[in-house]
Each structure stands twice: as C-alpha cells, then as structure tokens.
C-alpha cells in the first residue's frame, strides 16, 4: 500500500519557505548537488534521533524506508563524523551575555534597557568600566580583545573621552559574515522549530504571530520600520531584563535547565500587482 500523499498546502508552504534559502545558497556558491548530499545527511540524522521505536536506534533499513535515502547512503552517513554543536559559537554567546549584562545590571546601565557609557579602563572608571564589565562575565578573556573585535563588528565605539559606547541594543553584528551566519542559523532554526511544533505537536502552542499588509506606500513602510525598530527593541529589552532576573534566581536551584529564544522581525518587498480588470469591469478572483 503506497504511503499517503503529503498535504498540498504543506508542499506549497515548504516551497515558499525554501525560496529565500535557495537564494542565499546560490549567492554563496552552494550548488544543488552539494546541498542535496547535505540534505540526505539531515534526513538520516533526524530520522535516527527523532523517529525511534521504544527509544531504540532504528536500523539502516528502517531509516531508508522512512526517508527514501538509499541504504548504502544511510550507512555511509551514519558512519560520517557528526557536525559540531549547533549552539552559538563561544565568542557570539559571550558577546550576547556581555550586552545583556551591560543593558540590565547596575552599574553598567543607566537604567534597565539603557547601556551607560563605560570608561575603557578600570584604572579610570573602576566598577563602571569596560574592563569591569568583561571581568564580571568572564575571567578568561581580556577586555582589550573583546573591544577590538566589537569595534571591528560595529558593536561598540570609543569616544574622545576614552569611553566605550554600545552601538546596538542587541548583539547583532553590523559586520562580520561568520557572526551573522551564526545568528541566522540560531534564529531561523528556533523560529522554524516553533512553527513546526505548532503544526505537528499536541499541547500548548508556542507564541508565533505576525501582522501583514500588502497595500502600503513606501512612506508608510518607513514609518512602520521606524516603529518596529523603536518599540520592538524596547519589548526585547524588557524581555531581556526579565530573563536575566529569572536566570539569576534560578542559579540557586537544581531544576533542569531549558533554553529559549524570543524573536521579532520586519520584512518588506514589492506587492504583487492587482489583477487586471476584465471587459465587464470586474476583477478576476
């Protein structure tokens, strides 16, 4: 008995989702044949981890059956070295922790959500210095190393009084492809996980909502862009402050730990042209 056909609505959605990803791959020289082989590995990996019976590792034949990947390829891919951890790289994770501390913890912030200008050196600013900020988060890295990298990425700047200013309210590098790619993988993965959960899992849904219009002028788009940049960032800063406070309280407990991501995005492009009027004056549906 042949397996049931996948829902046409899902196939349409997947095709739509893949278009910007294929655009990125083509711009960065990733061909179909390269990606297809990588995709085989992902099918095998997910089937091995998430489609087990009685928590037993599935056989090569079962993985081949449910994925459509040839059994010889299944064996080859299962024997291949696994990709490194999908967690954010240490440098990116440290940077996010530093920005969170700078935005939410005195004496590094003017008020929660507003990072204070910090003296570059502890010998000048004491506890309210960039040296002290880095030392507060990690004793294993020199503040000068962090600052040099942040200046390269456009995250921080030094003024004429030798004070360090935060140039972005979240750790999103303005430069540096590798750092941006790390966030791309993290954010798109977690957004997709929430959406897939809401399509396939029982129980409470993850919050995933959006607002969309298709007949706005460029001037209106700019007003909305500015509103999202201001009000949206304030919402994220408030969530960051709450998460930081809760994490500090959880540090003294032994309950299992969970990670979470809260995201907000804005996108715009040209709308599809309206259907042309017919001779009778009606528009086509």
How far apart CA 183 and CA 163 sit, in angstroms, is 28
Residue 96 pLDDT:
80
Where do the H-state alpha helices sit in 154-228?
177-200, 218-227
Residue 119 pLDDT:
96
Residue 181 pLDDT:
86
Kindly give the confidence (pLDDT) of every residue in the chain, 285 residues in length, as a single tens digit, with 9 standing for 90 and above.
566 788 999 999 999 999 999 999 998 888 899 999 999 999 999 999 998 888 888 999 999 999 999 999 999 998 887 665 556 666 667 888 898 889 888 999 988 778 999 999 999 999 999 999 999 988 888 999 999 988 887 889 999 999 999 987 666 666 678 778 888 898 999 999 999 999 998 789 999 999 999 999 999 999 999 999 889 888 888 888 888 889 889 989 999 999 999 998 899 999 877 766 444 444 443
Beta strands in the chain (DSSP E): 109-111, 114-115, 118-119, 156-158, 163-166
Residue 121 pLDDT:
95
Question: Taking the domains of the chain in order of start, what are their residue ranges?
Answer: 8-79
Residue 221 pLDDT:
96
How far apart CA 221 and CA 18 sit, in angstroms, is 25
Residue 280 pLDDT:
41
Query: What's the token pair of residue 116?
Result: 């204070």
Residue 89 pLDDT:
62
- Tell me 255's DSSP state: S
């Amino acid at each position: 008995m042949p397996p049931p056909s996948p829902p046409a609505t899902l196939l349409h959605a997947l095709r739509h989702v893949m278009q910007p990803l294929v655009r990125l791959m083509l711009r960065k020289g990733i061909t179909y044949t390269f990606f297809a082989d990588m995709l085989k590995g992902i099918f095998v990996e997910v089937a091995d981890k998430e489609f087990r019976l009685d928590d037993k590792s599935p056989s090569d034949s079962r993985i081949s059956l449910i994925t459509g990947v040839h059994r010889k390829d299944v064996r080859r891919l299962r024997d291949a070295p696994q990709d490194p951890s999908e967690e954010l790289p240490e440098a990116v994770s440290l940077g996010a922790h530093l920005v969170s501390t700078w935005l939410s913890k005195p004496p590094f912030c003017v008020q929660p959500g507003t990072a204070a200008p910090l003296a570059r050196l502890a010998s000048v600013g004491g506890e309210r210095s960039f040296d002290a900020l880095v030392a507060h988060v990690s004793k294993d890295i020199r503040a000068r190393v962090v600052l040099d990298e942040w200046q390269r990425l456009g995250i921080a700047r030094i003024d004429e009084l030798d004070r360090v200013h935060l140039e972005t309210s979240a750790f999103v590098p303005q430069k540096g492809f590798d750092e941006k790619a790390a966030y791309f993988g993290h954010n798109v993965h977690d957004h997709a996980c929430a959406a897939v959960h809401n399509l396939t899992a029982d129980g409470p849904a993850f919050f995933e909502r959006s607002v969309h219009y298709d007949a706005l002028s460029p001037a209106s788009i700019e007003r909305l862009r500015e509103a999202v940049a201001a009000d949206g960032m304030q919402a994220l800063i408030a969530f960051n402050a709450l998460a930081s406070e809760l994490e500090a309280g959880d540090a003294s407990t032994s309950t299992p730990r969970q990670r979470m991501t809260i995201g907000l995005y804005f996108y715009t492009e040209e709308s599809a042209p309206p259907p042309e009027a017919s001779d009778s004056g009606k528009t086509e549906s």
